[in-house]
């Protein structure tokens, strides 16, 4: 699907930073590209370098949660405790009755 982008004037240098996801969802593809100061084929190498200098790499940062802390927090979930108790009860009743 080709998107035609028409720009009458160039947007301010950081206008692309102001675009919110909610408003972008209601715009046409050409409108989003225009608001991001981009083109269908992406940014020019010079613009990509400039934005990399301004905001850094396009990478997610680690949330820093420790796996053990996450596991312990999940084990405090009442629904999980109920499910484990039900599984243990079922297992114990199967062993005592001789049927698995």
The Cα–Cα gap between 97 and 15 comes to: 71
Could you report the per-residue pLDDT of 20-35, keeping only the tens digit for each?
Answer: 888 889 999 999 888 8
Lowest-confidence region among 8-17, 44-53, 76-85: 8-17
Rounded to two decimals, the pTM is 0.45
Exposure letters 23-43 (e unless 16+ CB within 10 A, then b):
eeeeeeeeebbbbebbeeeeb
Q: Which residue has the higher pLDDT, 3 or 17?
A: 17
The Cα–Cα gap between 85 and 18 comes to: 51
């Amino acid at each position: 699907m080709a998107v035609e982008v028409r720009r009458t004037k160039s947007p301010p240098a950081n206008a692309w930073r102001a675009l919110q996801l909610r408003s972008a969802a209601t715009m046409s593809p050409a409108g989003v590209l225009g608001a991001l100061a981009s083109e269908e084929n992406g940014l020019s190498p010079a613009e990509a370098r400039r934005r990399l200098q301004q905001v850094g790499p396009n990478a997610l940062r680690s949330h820093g949660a420790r796996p053990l802390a996450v596991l312990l927090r999940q084990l405090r979930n009442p629904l999980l405790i109920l499910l484990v108790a039900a599984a243990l009860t079922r297992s114990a009743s199967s062993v005592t009755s001789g049927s698995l």
